[in-house]
Amino acid sequence: MKKSLIIALTLCFAIFSCGEKTENQEGQEMQNEAKQETVSTPTASSTSVSTTDMIDAYLSVKDALVADDQATAAAESQTLVNAIREFDAEADLEDLKAQVLTEAEKLVSGDIASQRESFQALSVGMKEILKVVGTDRTIYQQYCPMYKNNTGGMWLSASEDIKNPLFGSSMLTCGKVEETLAMN
C-alpha cells in the first residue's frame, strides 16, 4: 500500500511538473509572439485602400493607349494624377511617388507618342511601388523588346493577354509577360 501511494504521488508530480512552464519559457513565448506581430506584410485589405484607385486609373490609361485614344488617355491620366496624390506613401517611397506623379502629369497633355513615353516611365515606378506595398489583384509585368528603337519598354496589365500600349494598334500583340506581381 505504501509502495502504491509513493508511485501514485510520483506519477502525479511528474504529470504536473511536465505541464508547467517556467517563467523564462513564458517570457520567451511572449517575445516570439511580439516579434510575429511586428512583422508587417501587405495584405489585400491594407493594399486595396492605398493602391486600388491608383491601379484602376493606371489600367484605364493603359487601355486608352492600347486603343490609340489620346484624348481618353489624357482624361484618365488626370484621374491617375489625383489617385497618386491621394496615395499615402511611406516615407521611403516619397521620392518614388513624386517621380510617378511627374510622369502621370505629363500624360495629361501632349501627343500620343509623348504620352506613351511617359507611360513607360510611369510603369517602371508603379511596378516598384506595388512591389513594396503590394497589390489588391494579380498584375502582370509585360515587356516589348522593340519599343524605343529596340531598347525595350515595360507596362503593367491585369491580364496575361498582350495588348501593347506602347505601340497600340501598330503592334498590338508585341510583347511577353516577364513577371507576375501576386495579390497580397
How do residues 8-49 score in pLDDT, each as one tens digit?
444 444 444 444 444 444 444 434 333 332 222 343 333 434
Report the C-alpha gap between 85 and 77 in whole angstroms. 12
Give the model confidence (pLDDT) of 117-157 as tens digits: 999 999 999 999 999 999 999 999 999 999 999 999 999 99
Report the C-alpha gap between 42 and 56 in whole angstroms. 18
Is 37 a member of any domain?
no
Is 65 a member of any domain?
yes
The three-state secondary structure class of 181 is strand
Residue 126's pLDDT is 97
Set of cell numbers at residue 91: 516615407
Q: What domain range includes position 153?
A: 45-181
pTM: 0.73
For the chain, how many structural domains are there in total?
A: 1
Residue 89's pLDDT is 85
Half-sphere exposure of 160 (CA within 13 A, CB side): 3
Is 5 a member of any domain?
no
Is 19 a member of any domain?
no
Is 103 a member of any domain?
yes
Is 8 a member of any domain?
no
| Of residues 99, 89, 104, the one with CA closest to residue 51 | 89
Is 53 a member of any domain?
yes
Is 152 a member of any domain?
yes
Q: At residue 166, does pLDDT exceed 90?
A: yes
Report the C-alpha gap between 179 and 10 in whole angstroms. 63
The three-state secondary structure class of 59 is helix
Give the model confidence (pLDDT) of 7-16 as tens digits: 544 444 444 4
